[in-house]
Amino acid sequence: MALDWLDLTGKVAFVTGSGHGIGAGIAEALSAAGAKVIVSDINEEVGSATASRLGAPNIPLDVTDREAVDRTLARVASEFGALDVLVNNAGIYRGFGGPIATITDEMWQKLWAVNVEGLFYCCRAAARIMVAGGRGGRIINIASTQSVSPGVGVTYDGSKGAVLQITRSLALELGPKGVNVNAVAPGATWVMDMPAPPLTGVVPPPTGDALADTVASRIARIPLGRWGQPIEVGKACLFLASGMADFITGVYLPVDGGWLVE
């Protein structure tokens, strides 16, 4: 019985930015629970590699292209029969950190275009489809511990704060229409093109990237004593996408090894 609640057989899930890193872990977790997962990434090469590994369809998408977002999610609903779960994972952060005086207009606009506007376009397209389809749905937005505990720079911290409030606003609006909207907030998660996650709180050598290095230096603060792994964020998304979370909406679920506990 308990396992039935986690079973996503017959559900169609679309995960943005799922070619690499956390998104690939989310796609893997939802696939393992039986969902038909559509892998999607702006980078066709990584999207196609992850899709083949999972035996899943791959539909490339740049979430900042609003027309492509509408077209792609409509295509998913017609080709696969529904859109039950949307995970807004696509996000950028490397190369966008630093003090406000060093942030250019281009840096600010580029990061917000992906992390906030792209997420908004996908939420809007999915909400239209889920409400019209009459079978409700789940929207899961990948926020960050920086949504509530800033510290890596105004550009990224601000964007992830916005993701949290968009989630809460949509939970209010879409709840009566059968769509649950929640946020998952990863802490430091080991995706930085390194071979394997360290199982201790070891601080990796500086990369020269201000934001990545700030995250790395804060590793010592994690009570569980290690970095997270993409599949661990995937498991939280699976929970929120499943029958385990039927009565949960508008929450912010940290997956951070306790980093937010001070």
Ligand X SMILES: NC(=O)c1ccc[n+]([C@@H]2O[C@H](COP(=O)([O-])OP(=O)(O)OC[C@H]3O[C@@H](n4cnc5c(N)ncnc54)[C@H](O)[C@@H]3O)[C@@H](O)[C@H]2O)c1
Given the rule CB under 6 A, which residues bind ligand X? 16-17, 19-23, 41-43, 46, 61-64, 89-93, 114, 118, 142, 144, 186, 188-189, 191, 215
Least distance to ligand X from the beta carbon of 110, Å?
9
* Angle subtended at Cα 168 by Cα 129 and Cα 216, rounded to the nearest 5 degrees: 105
Burial of residue 172 (CB within 10 Å: 0-12, 13-18, 19+) is exposed
Question: Measured from the CB atom, is 178 or 226 closer to ligand X?
Answer: 226
187: left (phi over 0), alpha (psi -120 to 50) or beta: beta
Looking at residue 87, its amino acid is V
Residue closer to ligand X (CB basis): 229 or 247: 229
Backbone angles phi, psi at 86, to 5 degrees: -115, 125
Mind spelling out the 3-state secondary structure of 219-230? HHHCCCCCCECH
With respect to ligand X, which residue has the nearer C-beta, 171 or 236?
A: 236
Q: Extract the tokens encoding 145.
A: 């511990």
Q: For residues 24 and 247, which CB has a smaller minimum distance to ligand X in the complex?
A: 24
Is 156 one of the annotated active-site residues of the chain? yes
Query: At closest approach, how far in Å is the CB of 35 from ligand X?
Result: 19
Q: Please count the CA atoms within 13 angstroms of the CA of 15 that sit on its side-chain side.
A: 34
**Residues with catalytic function:** 156
